Amino acid sequence: MQSNCHTNTLSEGGFKREFFKRAWLNLTAKKGRSILLVLVTSAIMLFVLAGLLIRNAADTATSNAKKSVGATVTLSANREAAFKKMRSATSTSKSSRPKLTTSPVKLSDAKKIAKLSNVSSYNATVSTSANAKGFDTISTSGSSTGDGMKGMGGSSSSGTGDISITGVTNTNSVSTFESSSSKITKGRGITASDEGTNNVVIESELAKEDSLSVGDTIKLKATTGDKKTYTMKIVGIYKASSSASTQQGPGSTDVSNSVYTSYTFANTVKGSKYKNTADSVTFAISDPAKVSSVKTSGKQLINTSKYSLSTDDSSYQTVKSSMNNVKSFADKIVWLVAIAGTIILALIVILMIRERRYEIGVLLSLGESRWKIVAQFFAEMVMVLIVSVVLAGFGGKFVGNKLGDQLVSQQTTTATTTTSSTSQQGQPGGGGGAPSGNTGGSKPSGNMPSGGGQTGNASATTDTNLDINVTVMDLVELGGFGLAIMFLSIMLASGGILRLQPKKVLID
């Protein structure tokens, strides 16, 4: 009895050795067919891997966009509520026409919002104007400031000066500088350390016109109130966007006449009642996915009848939408190739079974079970799969990069076209702030290089690249897909084996 058990154990061990030996000998004996199987399987695995790599890279790009692209929430005057109030006053008062009245943003409210989670920084923006004193401004045929004469007067009835002043907390947070459409060429930009100073950053063309450089001083004369003259120290020179256009019409000025100062100086020019206020405050959100929650929390800290919070996560949404489209296409590649690969391999296995009917009949007649024969075919295909996965690993990055670049290029073209259409329908952008609804005759920020926000969107989309690399986990995932494809193809083709009768096969 013990001898029989020992013999059965040896028989099972011998079967396992013979099982893999037969599979290996069959592959090496028919090299042409084995090479064909390896090539076909490698092609299938190559495109499956490319799809997996593109999908994973798209996920990574979307995650990175949360850090690099960013989103903003802007606190500004509630113009909608102000218009309702004006219309209400119009209906009750017929003697005089009511004026639109808005309230400047209190910095105390802004600092409360800045303490919310996911708010990384904020930038206060104040827009006003002044007249140049003792130096020439850049004039154009459409400018109302004269023909390049020295800005000594500036006696416009509207109180608008020939120098447009944008007061900020930090120029690096202004949309035109963030998108690199405007760049500091000499010196430095405005920072929080410039609060309470008369430091100024001027445009390069204005600097050339008056032979000004960093460290020099210029004088600006207020157009309202006591019309005080201020001595400004130039700490930086910037180059405005080449696409910035000069606006025409009364009160307009060339973009080169736009300067940046600290928001505290801009408030000083506007008047003492504007101390510790801003036209708008823009908050940078560390996680664009949380922009809605920041807006909701921020509304609880302000008087919504006077102020409003608006969000801008368009850059992040553009990248996210593009990457989702790329990911969707990559998923389709994976599944289409997997389904097609399963069908193709199933057909190949069916042909193999038809070719090896006699071998199968002999094994069945010797008492080999049908499932073990099926398992032998599966073992042969797994050996082929191992070689194919290795080959696909070498070529996967190349194919993935080519397909990924093409997909991103298509999505970028679509996103840029959409962005351009939107920007043409919208209002010209300002220097990073929302519409301020200024009072007291201060100059709006429309003279600043426009398109800051839109430029940022286009830049974010253009700079989105897929970082495609083959990792061990990618190969493991590919191997899992490969095993599933092999298993399904063998199962589809094994029906012929299960129906075979050894006696009939040998007679035939």
CB 344 within 8 A of CB 44: yes
The C-alpha torsion from 418 through 421 and 424 to 429, rounded to 10°, is -10
> What's the confidence (pLDDT) of residue 460?
43
E runs forming strands in 84-198: 105-106, 119-133, 163-168, 183-187
What pLDDT digit, counting tens, does each position of 22-77 carry?
A: 777 777 878 888 888 889 888 888 888 888 877 777 777 777 666 666 788 888 88
For residue 447, what are the contacts with CB-CB under 8 A and spacing of at least 6?
164, 247, 252, 253, 255, 257, 258
CB 359 within 8 A of CB 506: no
What pLDDT digit, counting tens, does each position of 331-340 carry?
A: 887 888 888 8
Mean pLDDT, all residues of the chain: 75
Higher pLDDT, 396 or 127: 127
For residue 443, what are the contacts with CB-CB under 8 A and spacing of at least 6?
127, 128, 129, 160, 161, 164, 165, 251
The Cα 329–Cα 324 span in angstroms is 9
Q: Is the pLDDT of residue 451 over 80?
A: no
CB 298 within 8 A of CB 80: no
- Which CB contacts under 8 angstroms, 24+ apart, belong to 265-268? 265/165, 265/167, 265/197, 265/198, 265/199, 265/200, 265/230, 266/126, 266/127, 266/128, 266/165, 266/166, 266/167, 267/126, 267/167, 268/230
Nearest to 157 by CA among 166, 172, 144, 138: 144
Residue 116 tokens, joined: 């919310």
Q: Is the pLDDT of residue 2 over 50?
A: no
Q: Which helix (H) or strand (E) holds 221?
A: strand 217-222
pLDDT band at 467 (very low <50, low <70, confident <90, very high): low
> What's the confidence (pLDDT) of residue 288?
80
Cα distances (angstroms) measured from residue 440 to each of 12, 84, 99: 98, 21, 12
What pLDDT digit, counting tens, does each position of 296-355 carry?
A: 898 889 888 888 888 887 777 777 777 778 778 778 878 888 888 888 888 887 787 777
Q: Is the pLDDT of residue 367 over 60?
A: yes
Q: Is the pLDDT of residue 497 over 90?
A: no
> What's the confidence (pLDDT) of residue 203?
94
What pLDDT digit, counting tens, does each position of 184-212 carry?
A: 999 999 999 999 999 999 999 999 999 99
> What's the confidence (pLDDT) of residue 13?
46
pLDDT band at 426 (very low <50, low <70, confident <90, very high): very low
The C-alpha torsion from 13 through 15 and 17 to 22, rounded to 10°, is 180
What pLDDT digit, counting tens, does each position of 99-114 carry?
A: 666 778 889 998 999 9
Sign of the CA dihedral 248, 253, 257, 260? Answer: negative
What pLDDT digit, counting tens, does each position of 33-44 carry?
A: 888 888 988 888
The Cα 162–Cα 491 span in angstroms is 82
Residue 155 tokens, joined: 């006696």
Tell me the pTM: 0.60
What is the arithmetic mean of pLDDT over 361-387? 82
Burial class (CB in 10 A: 0-12, 13-18, 19+), 501: exposed
The Cα 21–Cα 9 span in angstroms is 18
Residue type present at position 431? G
pLDDT band at 151 (very low <50, low <70, confident <90, very high): very low
What pLDDT digit, counting tens, does each position of 216-262 carry?
A: 999 999 988 788 999 999 999 999 876 555 455 554 568 889 999 99
